[in-house]
A = this chain, B = another copy of it.
Amino acid sequence: MTEPLYKTVIGTLIDRIISGELVPGAMLPSEHDLGTELGVSQGTARKALEELERRGIIKRRQGVGSFVAVRTPENAMFQFFRLRNPDGTQAIPDLAEEAVSSRNAAACEAGQLSGAPEKVHEIVRVRTIGGARLIYEKSVVPAVLFPGLDQRAPLPNALYALYQQAFRIAIVRAEESIRAIAADQETASALGCAVSRPVMRVERKAFDIADRCVELRSSFYVTDHHAYGISLS
């Protein structure tokens, strides 16, 4: 056998989560049962579960069990919303405006999104912090993966919780490109600020549990009183 047993177990569990056999919040078989079922020892099953926990796909609690990770509004904010208050605490944004539309994918969007979709949904939102319009973001997702998303307004604050609950798509990781630019006309009017004012532009590619790119997001932040906080390791 070329592939280690525990990697086969990992693949089996991921397949079950993708197929919907294991839904978010569901309890996985215990280490012992999983080993018996798949014909491996408890230790091997355990090694697979440990790696899935490191990747954020499941949660384990001693004495309780292992569970498929649930993307709640809270943890989605904490993990993927990086704007911080001056004291370092998490900034909590409110939703001010929202527009959802359906359109044909641009060539560069189709090239980056999984499945090279023809149709996409676009979600444009303006967010406020303490009443000030500080965030303008445009998200693009393949229509085929998110059927009916354009008829669900108003959308919740945390999109990734919705993605998981309504469309069975769990965002696991993201890649971002950050730059400082001068606000263009569109951004300035959305944020109610002056044209050519410095804003932070973040281009995000979000990947699901199967490592497919399922969302492109372009965000613009006013960072006068808040900063984007990240960790390098």
Chain A positions within 8 Å of B, measured between CB atoms, are: 55-56, 79-80, 82, 84, 172-182, 197-201, 203, 221, 223-224, 226-233
**Dominant SS at the A interface?**
strand
Cβ A227 vs Cβ B178 within 8 A: yes
In the complex formed, the residue of B with least CB distance to A204 is B232
Task: Please determine whether A200 and B203 come into contact, CB atoms closer than 8 angstroms.
Answer: no
Copies in the complex: 2
Select which of B79, B174, B199, B223 is within 8 A of A231 by beta carbon. Answer: B174
Are B200 and A232 interface neighbours, CB within 8 A? no
Determine the distance from Cα of A56 to Cα of B229 in the docked complex, in whole angstroms: 21
Cβ–Cβ < 8 Å partners of A182 in chain B: 197-198
Within the complex, the shortest CB–CB distance from A182 to chain B, in Å, comes to 5
State how many angstroms separate the Cβ of A233 from the closest Cβ of chain B.
4
Once the chains bind, are B173 and A198 in contact (CB under 8 Å)? no
A180 and B180 in contact (CB under 8 A), knowing A56-B233, A79-B232, A227-B203? Answer: yes
Determine if A173 and B203 form an interchain contact, defined as CB atoms under 8 angstroms apart: no
A4 → B minimal CB distance (Å): 12
Known: A198-B198, A200-B200. A228 touches B173 (CB 8 A): no
Given contacts A198-B198, A200-B200, A231 and B178 within 8 Å (CB-CB)? no
Residue among B178, B224, B227 making CB contact with A230, cutoff 8 Å: B178
CB-CB < 8 A to A232: which residues of B? 79-80, 82, 173-176, 230
